[in-house]
Amino acid sequence: MATFVDRVVLHATGGDGGHGCASIHREKFKPLAGPDGGNGGNGGSVILEVDPQVTTLLEFHHLPHRRAASGTQGMGDHRQGATGPDLVLGVPDGTVVKGPDGEVLADLVGVGARYVAAAGGRGGLGNAALSSPRRKAPGFALLGEPGETQDVVLELKTIADVALVGYPSAGKSSLVAAISAARPKIADYPFTTLVPNLGVVQAGSSRYTVADVPGLIPGASQGRGLGLEFLRHIERCAVIVHVLDCATLEPDRDPVSDLDVIEAELASYAGDLGIEGGRVPLTERPRVVVLNKIDVPEARDLADLVRPELEARGLPVFEVSTASHEGLRPLTFALAERVERARRESPPPEATRVVLRPKAVDDSGFTVTRRTGGGAVWFAVRGEKPERWVRQTDFANDEAVGYLADRLARLGVEEKLFAAGAVAGDEVRIGPDTNAVVFDWEPTLSTGAELLGGPRGTDVRLEDRSRPTRGEKRHEYKERMDAKAAARDELWTERQHGVWTDPERDD
């Protein structure tokens, strides 16, 4: 079973907002004392927060679906619905939050850093909040807004001061075990280390962390071996240590060629260099070369042979043996010196800037687009306010539908539809293509609902009350007058022919 996970896909869903309540206050001597429906509570949000007690993403590997609590429904007597609590998920320090397309959404560095992965839905307003001097007793309330659903990729980039890189079986895990209290798995076969190992080194008054990155091979930056999975863990390290095996038995390998291969892989690795801790390219960071396994006589001779060539490149070289601990103390103090220098030269952390992006004066907040497809023509309305209003409308209540029409008209949706060429009866879709509200547009719905009387929960504009035109009224009047004239003529004709003669009077 996996014990270290550094990349997971989290399916986060915010809590739904509670529905508003439509209620009328009733008590003795006050049977209809006005609306008293309370608002629904807001849904909780799914929040990622850096927790120092969390060191791996294993919990999200087993439980990738997380949902926050929903808000409760409002009630009568002005009782508000309860707000759903936020679901705070602890993540390790150095977690990068990305979208499904690879876009970096947040870089969580430092204890307490937060990111809202899925926001909760707003609670619906009750009829008490919707009442006005003209709409004194609304017979409807707004529905709660569904919570946001978002899939994010969590990548853990270990925050260590020193990164140990090199070929498999070069002795990186043995070096970490020799200079710190860490006890990683050590064996005499390649790819023994399957996950990064961290160790804390104390050199005098300086303390720093060392990360053992699983072995690299040619092509690791393109996905070969385990390098692509764990190269991200060296992006935040201040010093890179090349651990070279001087006792290798492979005929086509030597310390210099191993160094060239690893350097080429680091240079070709395209990490997220635009985030905090990854601005400096890997090839420009301080590097140290460690010639390992000099306890073997042949390895010591090879180290003495290649050391001048490596020093000619400007690289500090240390000959060590993790078996006999030879040369480890100078190495730890040299790394401590470079780490302290990197800490002094690093810029102080800046406070998070609050960026204000005001809307343009001519920005209406929504768009109306004419679209065609499948032989049909429709008009798509997209915008935060129209889509939210549609989600909060109870379409089983005619008064709520009329209230939605009034809000859209005040926002200017009807004017934009006219400008786009829409006519009465055209199909209009509000919302995304996959989940849009479709209706036939009727411009007559722009009449003020506050001026229309009727029972609560109804809207006379939605009833089938077609008004005849003036020409139709004139034609109907003429037909009625002609029918009356024809009836009078028929009665007069019958009278002249004696149909109305009284037989008893004639006898």
Numbered residues of the known binding site for GTP: 166-173, 191-195, 212-215, 292-295, 321-323
Which DSSP symbol is given to 24? B
Smallest CA-to-CA distance from 342 within 174, 198, 209, 172 is with 209
The DSSP string of 207-224 is EEEEEEPPPP-TTGGGT-
The Cα 277–Cα 280 span in angstroms is 8
Beta-ladder partners of 319: 291
Binding residues: 166-173, 191-195, 212-215, 292-295, 321-323
Cβ atoms of residues 138 and 130 within 8 Å: yes
Smallest CA-to-CA distance from 25 within 83, 91, 103, 79 is with 79
Q: Which long-range contacts link 57-62 to residues 24+ away (Cβ below 8 Å)?
A: 57/5, 57/6, 57/7, 57/8, 57/91, 57/92, 57/95, 57/154, 57/156, 58/2, 58/3, 58/4, 58/5, 60/5, 60/8, 60/10, 60/89, 60/154, 61/2, 61/5, 61/8
Residues counted in the chain: 507
Cβ atoms of residues 22 and 112 within 8 Å: no
Q: Say if residue 29 is exposed, middle or buried (CB neighbours under 10 Å; 0-12, 13-18, 19+).
A: exposed
Binding residues for Mg(2+): 173, 193
User: String of b and e for 397-431 (b: at least 16 CB within 10 Å)?
Assistant: bbbbbbbbbbbbbebebbebbeeeebeeebebbbb
Pairing state between β 206-212 and 162-165: parallel
Cβ atoms of residues 109 and 277 within 8 Å: yes
CA angle 214, 218, 224 (to 5 degrees): 65
The Cα 403–Cα 400 span in angstroms is 5
Taking only Cα atoms into account, the Rg of the chain, rounded to an integer number of angstroms, comes to 39
Torsional class of 3: left (φ above 0), alpha (ψ -120 to 50), beta (otherwise): alpha
Which DSSP symbol is given to 476? H
Cβ atoms of residues 123 and 40 within 8 Å: yes
The Cα 138–Cα 431 span in angstroms is 26
